[in-house]
Structure 1
């Protein structure tokens, strides 16, 4: 048994049965703990625990909600993909034609009275024309249907929410129809191929014409 060096009384004696590292015995490397085998994985930095990553459709961009046809006050029609049932060009043209026929009677009275120099008959026809025009404007603004539109089963509404546009906007839309008459009346024909079946006046006023049945 060794009691240390006689020249250094403070040196601790060594046990010959316990080999010391560094004297011919290599140290064993410490194995790191691998996650997954009984050890919980650490959450990425900056992510609150027990939360994870929310899944967003469309590569992180939320999809815009599609306005269903029921938002316009009518049940969704099959084959429209949730879009409102737009009135086609033929329905709009026939509705306009019916409205013109309604105005035909007082207009004839004005013409006949003027040619026959019958001021009273011409005045009656003129008042009837004015009254009928105001009446058509009011009912179109309040419920979206003139006499012609009602006969064809179509309605004028706001594109945003499917509600009536009001009398004031109905009057503005009538004035905006001058855009439809430009360039050889191209605006009146535009609903024949437009995706929303709109005239130029409809696009300016943000209105659409839809079917009611």
Structure 2
């Protein structure tokens, strides 16, 4: 049977299965599969005939051809900053309006409001991005617009803790004049230090 595949389950060979049967049984990207056209076991994510299936599941194999470069990642970051700062500018404006209407009665509460907002924007951004990276969006709004996705080493979604660690790892990447972010420009896998820390990749979706 040309359409016969075998799969390892707990170290035991099972099968044969058709291409459709494997997909119907929720084939995982890290599952070891013996293709009828190969003589060695391979992970399912490495078999081209399953590419469309995995993409439909939000799984994108990290590979040289689809690592998101520095330019795309910078554009996504700038879009995010525009969105976040725009939102918090509205909040700041409302606070200012309240202070004006109350004759500055709450002024002592909102001393150094810009510094407070900066901290709030930064840390809320970490949690918001971590949450978005674990959803079907697989990234921030900026990454969605730029058709980028954050994936784990198997091409799937991160866990929330992994995503949170990645985002807080941006503090490390920001040190030494942002050298950890600039690392994306010359790293062979286009990873920042925070990506390397969390074992994640940012890839460019097809289309």
TM-score, normalised to structure 1, is 0.54
Q: In the superposition, relative to structure 1, how do residues 72 and 177 fare at CA in structure 2: closer, same or farther (>3 Å)? A: farther
Aligned pair count reads 143
Q: Which runs of 5+ in 2 are unaligned?
A: 1-39, 57-62, 101-105, 111-116
Equivalent residue, structure 1, for 2:17:
none
Equivalent residue, structure 2, for 1:153:
147
After TM superposition, list the pairs within 5 Å mapping 1:185-204 onto structure 2: 185-204=178-197
Equivalent residue, structure 2, for 1:11:
none
Q: Which runs of 5+ in 1 are unaligned?
A: 1-62, 76-81
Is the partner of 1:142 in helix, strand or coil?
coil
Equivalent residue, structure 1, for 2:93:
112
Structure 1 residue 88 corresponds to structure 2 residue 82: no
Contact 1:72-1:163 at 8 Å conserved across structures: no
Distance in 2 separating the partners of 1:187 and 1:72: 34
Distance in 2 separating the partners of 1:182 and 1:131: 20
Q: In the superposition, relative to structure 1, how do residues 71 and 132 fare at CA in structure 2: closer, same or farther (>3 Å)? A: same
Deviations 1:117-159 (A, max 9, x none): 267xx9xxx7x96987655432212231211101001100002
Tell me which protein shows more helix as a share of its residues.
2
Is the partner of 2:156 in helix, strand or coil?
coil
Deviations 1:67-100 (A, max 9, x none): 637499349xxxxxx6451001011111111111
- Rg larger in structure: 1
Distance in 1 separating the partners of 2:129 and 2:199: 20
